[in-house]
Amino acid sequence: MEYKILELDTHELVLLAYDEDFQACVAVHSCALGPALGGIRMKVYKDSSEMVADALRLSEGMSYKNAISGLTFGGGKVAVSASHWTKDIAEKLATVLNYVNEELEVYYIGAPDMNTDNDCMKDILDAGGGYCVWDPSGGDCSVATAYGVFNSLVALSSFQGKFDKDFTVNIEGLGKVGKELLKLCSEEGWDVCVTDLDEELAFSLAGYYGAAYAKPEDLKYLEGVYSPCALGGTIDKDFVECSKANAVCGSANNQLSNIDIGTLLGLYNKLYIPDFVASAGGVIAIGVGIGEGLENGVGLDNPTTKERVTFIRKQASAMLLAQTTKMDTRNAQLIATKAAKEIIENGK
Residues annotated as part of the active site: 77
Judge contact between 109 and 36, C-beta under 8 A.
yes
Cβ-based neighbour number of residue 166 at 10 Å: 9
- What values do phi and psi take at 52, rounded to 5? -65, -45
Judge contact between 319 and 273, C-beta under 8 A.
yes
How far is 343 from 276, CA to CA, in rounded Å?
Answer: 14
Judge contact between 302 and 288, C-beta under 8 A.
yes
Of the candidates 149, 151, 153, the one whose C-alpha atom is nearest the C-alpha of residue 175 is 149
Rounded to an integer, what is the distance from CA 158 to the centroid of its chain?
24
How far is 21 from 19, CA to CA, in rounded Å?
Answer: 6
Residues with Cβ within 8 Å of 128's Cβ and at least 6 positions away in sequence, in order, are 91, 94, 95, 98
Return the bridge partners of 108, or none: 36
Of the candidates 189, 181, 260, 267, the one whose C-alpha atom is nearest the C-alpha of residue 226 is 181
- Give the residue ranges of DSSP H helices in the chain: 48-68, 87-98, 118-126, 142-157, 176-188, 199-209, 237-242, 260-267, 275-278, 281-291, 303-310, 312-323, 332-346
Rg (CA), the chain: 19
